[in-house]
Structure 1
Amino acid sequence: MPDSQRLAGKTAIVTGAASGFGRGIAQRFAAEGARVAVLDLNEAGAREVASGIGEAAIALTADVSDAASMDEAGRQAIEAFGEVDIVVNNAGWSHANRPVMEIDEAAFDKVFAVNVKSVFHAVRTFVPHWRAIGRGVMINVGSTAGVRPRPGLSWYNASKGAVNLATKTLAVELASDKIRVCGIAPVIGETALLETFMGVPDTPENRARFIATIPLGRMSTPADIAAAAVYLASDEASLITGVNLEVDGGRCV
């Protein structure tokens, strides 16, 4: 446990928290003193992560692309915690890495529903609450794909570009309400979507090809993204809003 808990007394919801970056963020937030709602479409996975964290966590099941589902999750979190200080929009999805003409409409719709519409729903669910309590922090997990796009993930890249820009415009519009909105742009990481992003089997040789494009010489990890999220959510970042923090080992330079 850290000597000084940077999120002591705060409450948070982390979406897509049953695995990967979301699980790492939820675990680190709790270690830093926050009470955390572990939200995921995967009910069993959310419960497992929340159980591992202990009394500081609750599990919520919701579809981030559905307004009613997110509203209900928000209601449950506010009922459990009294108020919600921080929302981390981490849940994401990608179509397979392949030429743009091979991506069908269903894949396009899903990638924008999960990656972009989820932020829309989170705004609609939590901004009224934050206006009522006079503060709030939203952290949107974008991607370096929305900063330095590459072939094969065209509509995923576009969805993350939308998230990155939404972060900036929301930050400007909501600043007068004392609501901060920040983003994190991870480089490719060791998550369940790794093979989807690469478009090739996860072999040491294929990993090496991707790692060679990252100046610091490694992929991102949940711990890397969690550390960035803790800082942006903490009072140390009270004057920071509208940034998209690139956690990328120099990939976007």
Structure 2
Amino acid sequence: MAAAAGSTIPSHIKGWVYSEYGKASDVLKLDPNVPIPEVKEDQVLIKVIAAALNPVDSMRMIGYFKVNDTIPTVPGYDVAGVVVKVGSQVNNFKEGYEVYGDINEEGHEFPKKVGTLAEYIAAEERVLALKPKNMSFVEAASLPLAIETAYEGLERAGLSAGQSILVLGVTGGVGTLVIQLATHVFGASKIAATSSTGKLDFLKSLGVDLPMDYCKVKYEDLPEKFDVVYDAVGRLTGQ
């Protein structure tokens, strides 16, 4: 447990804000005067130490969710930081606790107006966990949304112990976590994966049994069949 991040909580904070839709490089601006989020009874206020960017942040900024998004807004889903204030209904966290999590429970339908690319953010107790002591804030912030995606995908696919899996595009955040979850949690018997030539050794280090260079091998032509195929690349209409 770390010491609380200072006794004085400001009324306004710095945050990365977009006030129109477009490419992040064009619309994302640092705003030194963002109102600090109100802390509800079931929430904690977190001093942000590290935050992660995910594809969904870019999608929001280009207007993919504009029906449910309101601007100006601060993007960001994943966070790691220190609790500096707790709501009256919070039971598991106290000031000074180091926590991490994905602050958006319904990230497509109801994304928070002040996301994690700010100095402080408010989040419900139920979406947070204590940061492991052997993990840095940066490492912790990189996990939540990616591991949620990886785990839910394996659950939906019904991967079970003893089955084989082929993972496409494994060297991104979701793909690398799919490999580790498939091995250590779901008990896959054999793992194949695709990547570029320079990353084949990395696949082996993750425990991939059959690493394939997608520039040289077409997985569609493989004589071997797999119980599950997990596409960690994918495409969205309209991008």
Q: Which structure's relative contact order is higher, taking Cα pairs within 8 Å and 6+ residues apart?
A: 1
More strand, by proportion? 2
What is the TM-score with the length of structure 1 in the denominator? 0.24
For the pair shown, the structure with the greater C-alpha radius of gyration is 2
What is the TM-score with the length of structure 2 in the denominator? 0.25
More helix, by proportion? 1
